[in-house]
């Protein structure tokens, strides 16, 4: 059986994670596996009103996604909607959402659902995260217990003001918006979780993306 691998691209909003992933040097020895990104999930559901699970090498049922949202402590609470689970169904291995509008909270919860299912199936995969919540460290711990080899790629600038400026530029280019207050709060929370994430990783790479992105620790 081949070694299960998990690659996590982490760091505060506006630190250059997505740019790095777009240029990731894929090779037979260095593969991303299935790639899970909440922003991509949100975009697809907004544009097409459906999400093809075959993209993630998964075949799942309505019962599973509804069970996830019934027990979720995230989007139903953020949106004050305990019946959110009723808005989901899976047909022909595609997720359909019948709610009024898709948003980043729901997309993040769907991404978490997919990651958990990938762990259950033992598939290699990668995902991007701000890593400002301890739940992501808990997820890495669970993956390690399940036999995954974890590779962490962490990106940060030297000052959250840089991140705020970059996100503002991204919004002007019709990218994903994040409030300045949230960017700054997540910046410090993410850095606080870095040590624990490194300790759980088989290999960790830390990049300073203040200017030209450069590897500063390995």
pLDDT at 170: 81
Residue ranges of the chain that CATH labels 3.40.50.300: 1-33+124-218
- pLDDT beyond 60 at 29: no
Provide the 10 A C-beta neighbour count for residue 88: 20
Per residue in 85-143, pLDDT (tens digit) is: 999 999 999 999 998 889 989 999 999 999 999 999 999 999 999 999 999 999 999 99
Reading the block at residue 146, the tokens are 């399940």
Q: Which CA distances in Å does 4 have to 27, 50, 69, 121, 150?
A: 16, 29, 27, 10, 9
Least confident of 34-43, 66-75, 188-197: 34-43
Phi/psi of residue 117, nearest 5 degrees: -70, -35
Q: How far is CA 178 from the centre of its chain?
A: 15
- Topology of domain 1-33+124-218, per CATH? Rossmann fold (3.40.50)
């Amino acid at each position: 059986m081949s070694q299960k691998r998990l690659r996590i691209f982490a760091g505060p909003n506006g630190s250059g994670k997505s740019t790095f992933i777009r240029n990731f040097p894929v090779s037979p020895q260095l593969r991303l596996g299935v790639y899970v990104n909440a922003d991509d999930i949100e975009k697809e559901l907004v544009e097409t009103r459906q999400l093809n699970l075959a993209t993630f090498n998964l075949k799942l049922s309505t019962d599973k996604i509804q069970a996830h949202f019934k027990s979720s402590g995230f989007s139903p609470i953020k949106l004050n909607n305990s019946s959110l689970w009723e808005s989901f169904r899976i047909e022909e291995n595609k997720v359909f959402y019948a709610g009024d509008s898709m948003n980043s909270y729901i997309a993040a919860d769907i991404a978490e659902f997919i990651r958990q299912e990938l762990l259950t199936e033992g598939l290699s995969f990668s995902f991007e995260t701000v890593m400002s919540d301890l739940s992501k460290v808990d997820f890495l711990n669970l993956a390690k217990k399940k036999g995954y080899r974890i590779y962490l790629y962490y990106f940060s600038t030297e000052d959250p003001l840089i991140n705020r400026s970059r996100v503002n530029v991204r919004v002007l280019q019709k990218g994903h918006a994040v409030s300045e207050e949230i960017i700054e709060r997540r910046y410090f929370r993410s850095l606080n979780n870095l040590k624990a994430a490194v300790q759980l990783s088989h290999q960790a790479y830390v990049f300073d993306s203040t200017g030209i992105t450069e590897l500063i620790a390995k």
